[in-house]
Amino acid sequence: MRREAVLELLRQLEANKTTPEKVADRLASLPFEDLGFAKLDHHRSLRSGMPEVVFAAGKTPEQVAAIFVKLAASGVSVLATRASQEHFTAVQETVPTAQHHELARCITLAQNAPPVQGRVTVICAGTSDLPVAEEAAVTAEIFGAEVTRITDVGVAGLQRLLAQLDKLRVADVIVCCAGMEGALPSVVGGLVEAPVIAVPTSVGYGAAFEGVAALLGMLNACSPNITVVNIDNGFGAGYVATLIARGPRSSR
């Protein structure tokens, strides 16, 4: 469409119905996006087939349901995060194939899913960290990764963690969720070669300060293969994990 507008302009020049100067002026005065938008958004087309993400918290059940209806029609997969039971009830009425991931507080609709690419292992320290870990896992799955879950392996019970070593070592990337002192990524990072994405959770009491202790712990982790996302940001960790697991663009 935009290209059409530019072509039309150029065809008039070709037909000598205008002058190069006038066309140059016209080009310069076009709304920015008419030229730049395409370029700026060029990479968006690369993401074709990628799911659309809806942040449900703060939206009414009806609003979320309406978004699902629209996207269901467009054939794209959908991930709604921070979704309540009410959100799901509303979505389910209109898009019955949508799935509820209660623990993860997510709703997904998988359509025309891309081929599974890369292995993401999601590990968490305690059962209280599960909602965040599940958000990461559900995100990674809908974005096309093969996900392995390891739960309840705190650093104070090393044997349980070490028993999962094989699952950890085959992963292309590990998402590691922990609250309280947030020490799990340090230990896991030392056991594997793959990148580890650490997710501090707001789990803990007193001097845990709603995830601050875990966040600081992870930022100071002594293994060099660790990076960190925001407190409780399971979605972000799951998303970037699939980017890494899919492999570098230059080798695709």
**Residue 231 is a binding residue for a second copy (CB under 8 A):** yes
Judged by beta carbon, residue 112 or residue 250, the one nearer a second copy is 250
**Residue 28 is a binding residue for a second copy (CB under 8 A):** yes
- Interhelix angle 184-191/212-219, rounded to 10 degrees, is 30
The beta strand positions in 134-188, using DSSP E, are 146-150, 173-178
Mask for 94-113, x = binds a second copy (CB under 8 A): --------------------
Q: What's the closest the beta carbon of residue 72 comes to a second copy, in angstroms? A: 22
**Residue 173 is a binding residue for a second copy (CB under 8 A):** yes
Mask for 180-219, x = binds a second copy (CB under 8 A): xxxx--xx-xxxxxxx-x--x-x-xxxxxxxxxxxxxxxx
Per CB under 8 A, the list member of 1, 47, 74, 112 interacting with a second copy is 47
Considering only residues 59-78, where is the footprint of a second copy by CB under 8 A? none
Residue 204: strand, helix, or coil: coil
In whole angstroms, give the CA distance from residue 214 to residue 211: 5
**65, amino acid identity:** A
Judged by beta carbon, residue 98 or residue 199, the one nearer a second copy is 199
Helices and strands in the chain, H and E counts: 12, 9
**Residue 53 is a binding residue for a second copy (CB under 8 A):** yes
Contact call for residues 179 and 159 (beta carbons, < 8 A): no
Considering only residues 117-156, where is the footprint of a second copy by CB under 8 A? 118-119, 125-128, 154-156
The DSSP element (H or E) to which 38 belongs, if any, is helix 32-40
In whole angstroms, give the CA distance from residue 206 to residue 217: 16
